[in-house]
Structure 1
Amino acid sequence: MKKSVLILAVSASAILFSTSSDAQVIDSSKKAIATRQVPVTKQDSSRSTATTSVQTQTPAAQAATEGKVAGGVLMVPGKSIIDNTSKAAELTSLVSAIKATGLTDTLAASGNFTVFAPTNDAFKKLPQGSIDTTTAAGKDKLENVVKYHVIPGKFTKKDIALAIAKGKGKAELTTVEGDVITASVNENHNLELTDSNGNKALVTTFDAEQSNGVVHVINNVLLPK
């Protein structure tokens, strides 16, 4: 029993350390150091040499202050979720859905939200006519779909990994819509999200910091009950 719990914890913690593709994760033994000391030699006016050091940041550390490319745009931490996503060429379908359902002000407001943002290609995978915004019922359905991708509070990649480890392989995230999304790590060590209908999506970009939360880009649209 102890061995199986340890394996689950290791699998979940794997999503903390990504390669160049955020969807693929690696073993914790390859964890990058946030800063490192680099020796630099310089000469003073008397031609004597001295050794000092400077700090260099990894891409992950730089992203926290400079922003991160997500959805085809550099998302800046000082701007809101709606400000950043509105400029993302790969997230125009999501932004249109947000505007159509009147959720723009919510995602521009202060406070913390976690948004799992489906790409335009993800929306194209939906069956033709599955969401008909020309009817009141269709608009209500679209609103529920958008809210289903929003989690109250800020959940970074690290937070989700810890929740999965604590849940012994699964973590249930309650959405603004009221239903839950289940997070887990699949056999390829990718973070996988499962909706209430059994549909799955992978997180392709983690931790695009926002002034009012965080955005993770996903490759499928999740649907509530």
Structure 2
Amino acid sequence: MNRRFFAKTAAAVALSALVAGCASQADGPGDIVDIAASNDDFSTLVAAVQAAGLVDTLKSDGPFTVFAPTNDAFAALPAGTVESLLLPENKDKLTEILTYHVLSGAVTSDQVLGERLSVPTVQGQNVIVDGRVGKYGSGVRVNDANVTAADIIASNGVIHVIDKVLLPK
């Protein structure tokens, strides 16, 4: 009896997992915020997006291109910077920094390989996207940050992981 119960339970769990997996694939990728929130490497970015009140914007239709700094990128900022930016009185400065990481439209890495482009951000200033082979190798750079993972496709755009926080001038 216990073996039969265990076998039925295991089969039910496996079937549930299969159905859930198929359902999520049928729905397609999540939006930019959902994808970032599902990855522990972006917990600081997600906290910053929440503090700046940009969640609804980055969950909207877009499309957007987001240069997403990792937790390590935020940790490399001077001590106390992230904590200061997350304070309510610094919301405008935080919003300015975060929107400097966002482009209007979906730009994938194949569109910039071999090119050096000055591209306007949602914040208003331009970033330099450099996809040329040079002294930094064959990877794509955004200002002085390296793209460490490219073309994470979301339902409302694309995410490129970067190793530094971009700061507007």
Structure 2 gap ranges (5+): 1-24
Superposed, which structure 2 residues align to 1:164-203 within 5 Å?
Answer: 164=115, 170-184=116-130, 185=132, 186-187=134-135, 188-194=137-143, 200-203=144-147
Whether 2:54 is the aligned partner of 1:103: answer yes
What TM-score do you get using the length of structure 2 for normalisation?
Answer: 0.77
Contact 2:73 2:164 survives alignment (8 Å): yes
TM-score, L = length of structure 1: 0.58
Structure 1 pair 134/111, CA: closer, same or farther in 2 (3 Å)? closer
Query: Does the residue aligned with 2:151 lie in a helix, a strand or coil?
Result: strand
- Secondary structure of the structure 2 residue equivalent to 1:161: coil
Can you list the C-alpha shifts for 1:90-141, whole angstroms capped at 9, x where unaligned? 00010100000000001111120000000000000001233523352x2211
Match of 2:91 among 136, 139, 157: 139
**Separation in structure 1 between the aligned mates of residue 36 and residue 87 of structure 2, nearest angstrom:** 24
* Partner residue in 2 for 1:112: 63
AA matched with 1:209: I
Q: Distance in 1 between matches of 2:48 and 2:109?
A: 25
Name the amino acid aligned to 2:166.
L
Question: Which amino acid counterpart does residue 208 of structure 1 have in structure 2?
Answer: I
Helix, strand or coil: the match of 2:110?
helix
Residues paired across the two proteins, number: 139
Query: Any gaps of 5 or more consecutive residues in structure 1?
Result: 1-65, 67-75, 165-169, 195-199
Rg larger in structure = 1
1:58-89 deviations in whole A, cap 9, x for unaligned? xxxxxxxx7xxxxxxxxx95311111111111
Aligned mates of 2:59, 2:88 — CA distance in 1? 26
Query: Of Structure 1 and Structure 2, which has the larger fraction of its residues in helix?
Result: 2
Higher strand residue share: 1
Q: Kindly state the Cα deviation for residue 156 of structure 1 after the two structures are TM-superposed.
A: 0.3
Task: Tell me which residue corresponds to 1:210.
Answer: 154
User: 1:1-225 to 2 correspondence within 5 Å?
Assistant: 77-131=28-82, 132=84, 133-134=86-87, 136=89, 138-161=90-113, 164=115, 170-184=116-130, 185=132, 186-187=134-135, 188-194=137-143, 200-225=144-169
Say what the alpha-carbon RMSD is for the aligned residues: 1.7
Report the alpha carbon displacement of residue 206 of structure 1 after superposing the two structures with TM. Answer: 0.6
Distance 2:119 2:46 in 1: 22
